[in-house]
Chain A
Amino acid sequence: MLSIDRSIIDAIVAHARRDHPDEACGVVAGPAGSDTPTRHIPMDNAARSMTFYEFDSMEQLRVWREMDDRDEEPVVIYHSHTATEAYPSRTDVSFAGEPGAHYLLVSTREPDTEEIRSFRIVDGVVTEEPVEIVDAAVDPHAVQSYMFGQSPATVDYECSDR
């Protein structure tokens, strides 16, 4: 399960919309070992392509060193697919080199709705996981009743059936 703050998801979606129809990419860093994404770092897509993304190697070195200095790790690595579903392509799987990261995909193929899905990719094996979007601004004790499957401060996205 990926648990991530709504403000970060909103920033990722805004980045993906801004760069559409090119693919957008970036990282959300978090304290090492916490599995909690806290610091959104939009990255340049050096490929500037509608069907391919690639971190600029020099920007990546700077960002990875900065994370090291701050005792952080890449908790989330995200990119957008702009004409297809939010599911890892064979290319995505071939390149996936951070076994501890959540690979978040956003599809911007629909103009009004985003498809947001998260995956673990380890040794070439793709495993989808639920995404829990946490609304830090809402006081969870302020609401006393809610529908099954929802809580006042979170929205759970189950894995799509495939």
Chain B
Amino acid sequence: MAIEVRIPTILRSYTGGAKVVEGSGDTLADLLTDLDSRHAGLRARLVTDAGALHRFVNVYVNDEDVRFLGALDAKLNDGDSVTILPAVAGGAFGFAAAAAIASHAVAARATAAR
């Protein structure tokens, strides 16, 4: 089954410059493994060593942020469209503290969305 994946500029070095690639998988994790078999290195830019989705990217299934769909466990169907964007964030604060606040904020929003 085919799922369309939109690749941001910063990751197109892994797709030979392609803006859109196709892949397959029942979950986002499966899809990223499938993509990595043809676009080696792409998965490592999206998934941390600990096996979580990276803070530096936003991944969407159709019109929904996957953080609200179970992140890497998000279910995929034939014909879905996956969009990857660089997260735009920063600020004057130190990185560790900012990341802690951000992950707290994401968790709070995910709770609120339930």
> Of B65, B67, B88, B91, which contacts A77 at CB under 8 A?
B88
CB atoms of A61 and B92 under 8 A apart: no
Residue A102, interface by CB 8 Å = no
A77-106 interface (Cβ within 8 A of B): 77, 79, 81-84, 88-92, 94-100
Residue A115, interface by CB 8 Å = no
Contact A52:B85 (CB < 8 A) given known A81-B91, A89-B90, A97-B10: no
Flag B68-89 by CB within 8 Å of A: 1 or 0 each: 0000000000000001011111
Contacts across chains A and B counted by CB atoms under 8 Å: 104
Interface size class on chain B is: 20 to 34
Residue B105, interface by CB 8 Å = yes
CB atoms of B90 and A99 under 8 A apart: no
SS class, residues of chain B in contact with chain A: mixed
CB atoms of B10 and A92 under 8 A apart: no
- Minimum CB–CB distance for A91 against chain B, Å: 5
Contacts of B89 in A (CB 8 A): 47, 52-55, 91, 95
CB atoms of B88 and A60 under 8 A apart: yes
Flag B86-114 by CB within 8 Å of A: 1 or 0 each: 11111111110010011001000000000
Give the docked Cα–Cα distance between A81 and B89 (Å): 13
CB atoms of B102 and A89 under 8 A apart: no
Q: How many residues of A contact B (CB 8 A)?
A: 35
B2-28 interface (Cβ within 8 A of A): 8-10
The residue among B57, B89, B94, B95 with the most chain A CB atoms within 10 A of its own CB is: B89
Q: Closest 6 CB pairs between A and B? A: A97-B86, A51-B93, A92-B90, A52-B91, A54-B89, A55-B88
30 residue pairs A–B, Cβ–Cβ below 8 Å = A47-B102, A50-B92, A51-B92, A52-B90, A52-B91, A52-B101, A57-B67, A60-B85, A61-B58, A61-B63, A61-B65, A77-B88, A79-B90, A81-B92, A84-B92, A89-B90, A89-B94, A90-B94, A91-B89, A91-B92, A91-B94, A91-B98, A95-B86, A95-B89, A95-B90, A96-B90, A97-B56, A97-B87, A97-B88, A99-B9
